[in-house]
Structure formats: C-alpha cells, structure tokens
Structure 1
Amino acid sequence: MSGRATPPDLAQNLPPSPCVGICQIDRATGWCGGCGRSEKELAGWRDLPAFAQRAVWADLPRRNAILGLGFRLLPLAGTALLEHLAGRSLLPGARWAIGVHGASVEFAADGEPVRAALEAGVLHLATRLGRATLTLPAGTRAFELVDGQGRATRLVLALHRARLRTPNPAGIELIGPDRDALDPGGRAAVLVDLGLGRRALRFCVRSHDPVLLARLEARRGAALQDAPDLVAALVEAAAGWVAISPFGRIEAEGRILRNDQAGPRARLLPDLLASGRELEPGLELPPDYVACASLFPGEAGLPNGAPRATASGE
C-alpha cells in the first residue's frame, strides 16, 4: 500500500506492560489474577529482554483462560494496534460501536463496500449512511472480551478512569452547528447532546427539523430519563445520530432501530440505559478501565496478511 507508514520501534507498538491494575496473586497458579504474570515476571518485567517479554505476552491468553478471566489485554499499541483495527474493520460483518448499555451509535457495512483510509494516525471509515473516525489517545488499552469457551466476542478500546477527568453534560445541551461533522451535509445541522452524563460518551442527535429542535430546546438542562415524551419523539425522528468518545466519533443517519438490521444505526433504550452500565451484563473490564469504543468481530479473525485499510485515492 503506497504511503503506508513504517512501523516504529517495537517498544512503541507494545503496551508498557500487561498490568491492568488487579494486582493479586492467585495462590493456585502463582500468577497475577489480573494480568497472568508470575511473581518473578512481575518483579523483573522492566529488565526482561524484548524476546522474553514477547514470550510472556504470547502465553498470557492460556494463563488468563486458566484463571477464568473474561478479558485479555492485546499486546498491541500505537501503529501496530491501529493497523490491526483497520484490518479487522474490513472483515465481512465487522461492526464498530461507541456508546453504553442502552444507547449507542454503530457503524457497519450497509450493502456496499466500506470505504476506508488510514492516515496520520486516524482510521476513517464510511458507507452511504454512516461514517466513523477512530484514533488512539495516550494510554489506550485494547481488551478482547471472551466467552466461556475462550472465544473473543468483541474488542474494546478503553482508558483508565484517571484519564477521564472532565464530566460530560448530565442534561440536554444544544451545542449548535455540527462543524466537526464527518458528513459535510451535516455541518449546518444543529447538534444536541442528550446529556447522558457518561464519562466517556457524548450521545447526540443532529437535526434541521425546527419542531424537534424546539422540543429539545424546551427541555434544555433536563435529564433524558425524565422526558419520556421526548424519548418517544427521538425514536421516531429521521435524524442524524452522533456518538463521541475520546477515541473519535461515529455518525449514522435515519431512525432509531430496535432490531439487528445491518448497516449504520443508533440505539436508544431507556430501560437499559437506567442500569448505568457501560457494557451488557456478564461482560466486564478491569475495574479501573472505561470502555470507549467496541469492535465486534467479522466472519473470521485477523490472520497474517489480513486486509488493510487503504489510503484515500488508492
């Protein structure tokens, strides 16, 4: 692929360590109950040569399965992680989501090939009805969530809670024209944050409709859960939906969907939202990490030589 950046030094493409903040030794195995390393590996990690660290990383999925962990940290960071995500994004059936349990905007193919570009540390994805941009802020950790058989059900990009210090609005807030819209046609529409008050999510509607905007203006500052009539109007609105996290944004056009129809879509289910959960029940990250974006796998894993996103114009 022309214009593809040469990956930097290996150390820049690995997380600094497998630590996930759960530092308790499992006495049955002698491994850390969070990352799977032995006490000797924990004590001497910084002094281990690169080949020895890679050998430990390669064995951690086996150890994590024995420990019964529902997550595993990928040994990828920086350019290597972004290229891995780009390749997985192009697999048939792959789907990105930014949101929480009960409210999300999702990007997926809608019957046409996904247009993709990997440029200057940003992954751009587009179809007819949806767009996404994704980047990797400092401190990014990529976790695979696994089921009881050890199969990855999704890949979650997360940040430590300490990196999410600025709270998002906890009430409806009219932002104004969406000048950062990925779809140029949306830049004159008014963007409204629906005020979910989540640390890693701004869940927004974007509209030209004066009636809908007037209803939102009338509820400025109110909590969405206190306005069931407004929720009903939003579910029926043919609008633009925007989810923003520290990793980027996803946009989708059309009505809120309640089924599993393919393609870009938005979900808004107040009953689920009221749980306050970031992930569905049964799925967990290490307690100090917040899910900011999720990639649901396509029809196959990413083998060596998997497809890569292409630069614009190629």
Structure 2
Amino acid sequence: MPELQQVLKAALMQEDCGWNMGSFGAIAEFHHVAGDPAPQEHPGLMQVTSRGGVRIETLDGVRPVAYETLSPKPHRWSQAVSLCLPLDRAAMNRRDVLTALGPDQGALRDEDRGAELFDMGLGQYQADFCIRTSDPELLDVLHENTGRSLFEPGNPAMGAILKHHPHRVLLTRIGRVEVYQMIGGPDTGGKSPEGPHTHVLPKLLRAERTHSANTPIPEGWVPCCGVHPENPVITRLGEDKVFSPAAFDAFQELLAAWGAEAYCQGKQAVWELLKSETPAAEAEEPESREGRAGWRNGIRQWRVLHGPGPLAESYARRFDRGADQADPENPGH
C-alpha cells in the first residue's frame, strides 16, 4: 500500500503532475509550464512558482480515491486521485456575498501576506473561492460592495475584478491553491493562460454539486483536492503523446491501492479474456456502471499496451462504441 504523504511529496516534484481545488463550476488549477524553472523543494507539501502554487496543509481524515475516466477519444483515458473528506468535515463557509477577510496571513509567499483577501461569495460547499489584492483602486470597489452578491444587477465589483486581475485563492479544509496569472477573458484573447488558472461557470454553480457525476467519489465523501499524475497518453496541453509505460505503471499502483474494486475487476476481467483469446462474441461485460467503465478502459489500454489486432478491435467494436459516460478532456482535470 503506497503511503499518501510520500506519494504527494513525490508528485509535487513532478512537472507533469497537475493539481486543483474547487467544486462543480468553480475551480483553481496549478501545474507547471514547459520551460519554467524545475519544481523546488519546500517544507511540507507545497509547490509554488511565479504563476501560482498549491499547499496541502493536513491529511487528517483524508481518503485518497484513485480513478480513471473514459475519454471521448477512443484511444485515450483520463486519470486522477481525489483527496476526499467526509461530507461534514469538508464543509467550508458557503458565503453567498462578497466578504472581506483581512490580510492573507496564510499566503504561500511572504510578499503576498499583506494583501487583502475577499471571499467572492460563490457559495461552494467544500471551497471558499477568494481573490487577493493590494491594488488601491480595486480595494475601494471591493470594500464599497461587500455584503452584495457579485451577480447582483448593477454591482460594479465583478467588472473591477476582471479589469484588475487579482490573485485567486481557493481555500479548502485541507489546503489551498493560488493563481497569480491573469483571469481568462478579453485581456487573454478569450482563453485561459497556460499553467495555473481558474474557471468560474455560473451555470454549473447553480447545480450545487460538489463534483461531476462522472467522477466516482464514494457516497458520503467530498473531493477537496484533485491530483493529476502524468497521463501516459496525453500531454499537459491535451495533445496525444508517445505512450509512457512508466507513467502508466505508476498510476496502476495507485489505482490498485485506492481505486474502486468494481472498476479494477472490470478491467482485469477483460484483460484475462483478451489474454486467453476469447472471442468478443462470447464475452459479457460487467453489470455495474463502474465495472463497465473499467472494462472499456481495459480494452483501450490493452490496445495501447499490445498494439492493435483483430481480437482487440473486435472487442472495441462491440463494447466501446460512442462516448457515453466520457468526460470532456481538459488538461489538469
């Protein structure tokens, strides 16, 4: 059984590992950009660059949940480890109005600890989505409009935030993610900058979900941090890459320790059938949703591991058609 602290400490030193905190509709992501300085050693579980950072402050009560999800593209799959807390322990403040929190004494960098922190009031269950600034013009607008919803008609605060690009700080019960880069929008050509960035999608927030329905989090648990180790077939920018056996093997160890039993059994079952050259017409996929997901990803991974062949192609045609239950791909997700 891998030791969680050691796995996370090693992951923080890997350039191809991404991190995120947030909920369904508002999220902050941290990952490295190619060409930037290599990850540096820090005390505890922390990594920070000129673009953003992440810190895991406690693992008390945390349950790691490893999983693979289906990709819309039939030669791919996504993978992650969610650091989860029980429902009651994961709850944050769930403020629904702009709220001043004072200087951010917990900032990752010394130079940011005098800047003022504001909860944006997005009402997320397991995360307080905040902004941090020392800009006098922005501070005036924010202080004038505390106690109001950012989405209230006529509230100038959201426009001021988009104009001034304050730091975004995502707080959970186990740590924080900070983003220093510009907010994706008109000033960035309509797309998020490469590397650390945030997404706020009001339409998804209205669903009041803690996570996507396609993320297999056990009942009664809430994901508080997403860890995305190097994907063996997809680059950080979401492009195809030459298969990395080392990245594949490393995640399979985590999946065996922290993954859903039904998923792992489904994948192992189809591998055994392919190994014994059982015809696809004689195979029966699992009845559970998780088992079927493991079965389908097992077919995809077999084709990558062993190369395409008539038998694997027949399994793919019978069992892996379409992209139902597939998550749209997004680097760092």
CA contact (8 A) 2:141 2:160 kept: no
Moved more, 278-287 or 185-194: 278-287
| Aligned-pair CA distance for 1:194 | 1.0
Indicate how the Cα distance of structure 1 residues 270 and 166 shifts in structure 2: closer, same or farther if over 3 A, else same: closer
CA gap of 1:204–1:262, structure 2 versus 1, over 3 A, is same
Deviation of 1:85 (Å): 1.9
Partner of 1:57: none
Please state whether the residue corresponding to 1:181 is helix, strand or coil.
Answer: coil
Shift of 1:242: 0.7
SS across alignment from 2:159: helix
Q: How does 1:89-128 map to 2 (within 5 A)?
A: 89-110=12-33, 111-117=35-41, 119=43, 122-128=44-50
| Structure 2 residue aligned with 1:272 | 204
CA distance 1:131–1:92, change in 2 (3 Å): closer
Distance in 1 between residues matched to 2:94 and 2:248, nearest whole Å: 35
For structure 1, the residue ranges without an aligned partner over 5 or more in a row are 1-74, 305-314
State the AA in 2 paired with 1:127: T
TM-superposed CA distance for 1:281, in Å, is 4.6
Give the TM-score, by structure 2 length: 0.60
Mapped to 2, the partners of 1:166 and 1:246 lie a distance apart of 7
* 1:247 equivalenced with 2:174 (yes/no): yes
Partners of 1:161 and 1:127 in 2: CA distance = 32
Deviation at 1:106, TM superposition (A): 1.5
Following superposition of structure 1 onto structure 2, how do residues 55-74 of structure 1 map, counting pairs within 5 Å?
none
Q: Give the aligned partner of residue 296 of structure 2.
A: none
User: 1:146 aligns to what SS in structure 2?
Assistant: strand
187 and 165 in structure 1: CA distance in 2 versus 1, 3 angstrom threshold: closer
How many residues are aligned here? 225
Percentage of matched positions with identical amino acids: 25
Task: Flag the 1:230–1:275 CA change in 2: closer, same or farther, 3 A.
Answer: farther
CA distance in 2, matches of 1:287, 1:219: 38
Once the 2 structures are TM-superposed, how far is the Cα of residue 99 of structure 1 from its aligned partner?
A: 1.1
Tell me if the contact between 1:168 and 1:202 (Cα under 8 Å) persists in the aligned partners: yes
Alpha-carbon distance between aligned partners in 2 of 1:231 and 1:296, rounded to the nearest angstrom: 31
* Code of the aligned partner of 2:117: L
Aligned to 2:162: 235
User: Which residue in 1 is equivalent to 2:57?
Assistant: 135
CA distance in 1 between counterparts of 2:249 and 2:217 reads 25
By how many angstroms is 1:255 displaced? 1.8
CA distance in 2, matches of 1:175, 1:162: 23
The answer on whether the counterparts of 1:172 and 1:193 sit within 8 Å (CA) in structure 2 is yes
Counterpart check, 1:224 vs 2:224: no
160-169 vs 130-139, which moves further? 160-169
Q: Is the 8 A contact 1:101 1:277 kept in 2?
A: yes
Between the aligned partners of 2:91 and 2:131, the Cα distance in structure 1 is 24
Root-mean-square deviation (CA, aligned residues, Å) is 2.6
Q: CA deviation at 1:128?
A: 1.6
TM, length-normalised to structure 1: 0.63
- The answer on whether the counterparts of 2:100 and 2:146 sit within 8 Å (CA) in structure 1 is yes
Larger strand percent: 1
CA contact (8 A) 2:120 2:131 kept: yes
1:298 and 1:236, CA in 2 relative to 1: closer, same or farther beyond 3 A?
farther
Q: Do residues 153 (structure 1) and 85 (structure 2) align?
A: no
Query: Which residue identity is paired with 1:274?
Result: R
Q: What secondary structure sits across from 2:96 in the alignment?
A: coil
List per-residue Cα deviations over 1:2-30 (Å, max 9, x = no partner): xxxxxxxxxxxxxxxxxxxxxxxxxxxxx
Q: Please state how far the C-alpha of 1:118 moved relative to its aligned partner.
A: 5.8
Segments of 5+ residues of structure 2 without an aligned counterpart are 186-190, 233-246, 251-333
Q: Which residue of 2 aligns with 1:211?
A: 137
Distance in 2, matches of 1:290 and 1:114, equals 32
Cα deviation, 1:229-282, whole Å, max 9, x if unaligned, reads: 433332332211111111111111132126354212222222332222222353
1:173-226 CA-partner distances (Å, limit 9, x unpaired): 101111211121211211111122323211111111222222222322223333
Aligned partners of 1:194, 1:136: CA distance in 2, in Å? Answer: 24
Tell me the distance in 2 between the aligned counterparts of 1:232 and 1:101. 23
Equivalent-residue separation in structure 1 for 2:131 and 2:207 (angstroms): 22
